A and B are shown apart, each in its own frame.
Chain A
Amino acid sequence: MRSIARATTALRNSPLLSALSITTIGFSLFAFGLFGLVALNIRSALEQVAAREEIRAFVADSTPIETLTAMAGEVQKFREVQKVDLVSQTEALARARQEMPEFTDVFQSDVLPASLDIHLAPGYRDPATVAKVADRIRNSYGFVDDVRYGEDWITQLYKLRNIAGIAGATLGLAFATVAIIIIGATIRMAILSRAREISIMRLVGATDGFIRRPFLIEGFVKGALGGALALLLTWGVMRALQQYLHFETVFFDRRTAALGVVAGAAIGLLGSAASVGRHLRRV
């Protein structure tokens, strides 16, 4: 309790430095949060594109609808498959006329084959899995004439997702490192401003734990407040993008947002522990 009281007193006694620390931590995490928001939206957009991936299995014209329905049921049970749509010859014609109205006159009844449109589940949309599922369908059903899945397009999309993932992880790590360094320096500044007090504490017999505790509490609180500030700023930017630039953006879910604040608190705590530990070893 005394440690909490001392931490509160320290925050109250130097409001400017405390505000500066919280703002610095907030803006460091804000930069990281902005990057996270961009990464989240890129990932979300790529997921949306990937969700449109489909394998289309065209069947022979003479295939009875019962056989097709049975096949759709079987394919639906594949663990890689999210959804199967059965498209009859009539529906295929209607879709072709809708998608390519300039060729409406060219399409005749029964010119297009019936098909099964197979959508893969998230996590199974990589080129290798798509090819494996396509091969399995091609080889398992003799009445399947052709299987198409836009191999090149899926490969390119997968590459793009990989690049985005690696770039995201690298930049994220860089942003996090910079944030930790800045936060560490901010906390160190706060500790140096009280170096005299610490040296007197040691001279009159305070233990390292006694000296360290309020700094840890202070670091935790500043980190948490900085994290909350960063979250608020990131949310503000997202709202501005939605309102003024009409961007369709997604924001962190509650769990991720809470994790951001907790991460801020953890960085504050660890930064304080490292800084005060280093300082205590010197005095």
Chain B
Amino acid sequence: MIRFDKVTKMYGRAPGSGPAALRSVSFGVARGEFLFLTGPSGAGKSTILKLIYMEERPTSGDVKISGYSSQKIRRKEVAQLRRRLGIVFQDFRLLEDRTAEQNVAFALEVTGTARAAIPAKVSRALAQVGLAAKATALPKELSGGEQQRVAIARAIVNDPFVLVADEPTGNLDDRATRGIFQLLRDINAAGTAVVIATHDLDLIRGTEYRAIELNHGEIVFDSAEPSVDGVRMQHPRMAEARA
């Protein structure tokens, strides 16, 4: 479903002039999989997400997502692809002058959904994230956790095949973080693949989900890759997290 093939990404005006955010990274994400991308700041987590929703293109290598290739995809097709993805950010990215339901409906309006079908889809998405009672609240009237739920409702309202989340709990307290994480697990349980970039190892602790650790733009650990003796690779940080 998602395949990174020897992907290198360098930022900078001239190709290859800037520092490498990713160096020859290869991995895949299967349908319905739950994947953590972890590592310190600047490791390349967000770059991987941007490559998934084609905000960035690889300097070399190829990213394949549901039949689209980063080498061939046209600008108009990027819009088509994003309609099938859900994207969530640390800073929620809600429209402040619109209510929760209007923010969710916005994702349907811009993709040309029939006007009559919008209210039911919005209600369903808000109910799924547990915010049906706050449909008419403005973002400023909601807590951080609730705002992130609205952002998740907006991300899932188009029934995406994968939800990508960039530090979705970065601005939240522990309680809200647990709530959001549980919500993402529920979404995944319903069949949507989830890719989360986070440096919060507490999130990973105690889960059996796949985790990829990045450092300096390279994969230093992938819990799905068996080691030479057949036992899963256990990077010291991951082992510590899982302990």
* Overall SS of chain B's interface: mixed
Q: Which residues of A contact B79 (CB under 8 A)?
A: 202, 205-208
CA A2 to CA B76, docked complex, whole Å: 20
* B82 x A204 contact (CB < 8 A): yes
Inter-subunit contact A200/B93 (CB<8 Å) = yes
The residue from B75, B80, B93, B95 contacting A205, defined by CB atoms under 8 A apart = B80
Among A199, A204, A208, which residue has its beta carbon within 8 angstroms of that of B107? A204
- Size band of the A side of the interface? 10 to 19
Residue B97 CB within 8 A of the other chain: yes
Q: Which residues on B sit within 8 Å (CB–CB) of A208?
A: 75-76, 79
Number of interface residues of B (CB under 8 A): 22
Tell me the chain B residues, 60-94 only, with Cβ under 8 Å from chain A. 75-76, 79-85, 87, 93
Interface check B4, CB cutoff 8 A: no
List residues of chain B with CB within 8 A of the CB of A141.
none
Interface string of B101-121 (1 = CB under 8 A from A): 000001101111000000000
CB distance from B107 to the nearest CB of A (A): 4
A100 proximal to B (CB < 8 A): no
Quick check: is A210 within 8 A (CB to CB) of the other chain?
Answer: yes
Q: Could you tell me the distance in whole angstroms from the C-beta of A38 to the nearest C-beta in chain B?
A: 45
Closest to B108 in A: A204
Give me the interface of B with A, judged by CB distance under 8 Å: 53, 75-76, 79-85, 87, 93, 95, 97, 106-107, 109-112, 154, 158
13 contacts between A and B (CB under 8 A): A2-B109, A13-B97, A200-B93, A201-B106, A201-B110, A203-B53, A203-B93, A204-B106, A204-B110, A205-B79, A205-B81, A205-B158, A208-B79
A residues with a Cβ closer than 8 A to B are 2, 13, 196-197, 199-208, 210
Known: A204-B82, A206-B110, A210-B112. 19 other contacts (CB 8 A): A2-B109, A13-B97, A196-B95, A199-B93, A200-B95, A201-B106, A202-B79, A203-B93, A204-B83, A204-B111, A204-B158, A205-B81, A205-B83, A205-B107, A205-B110, A207-B76, A207-B79, A208-B76, A210-B110
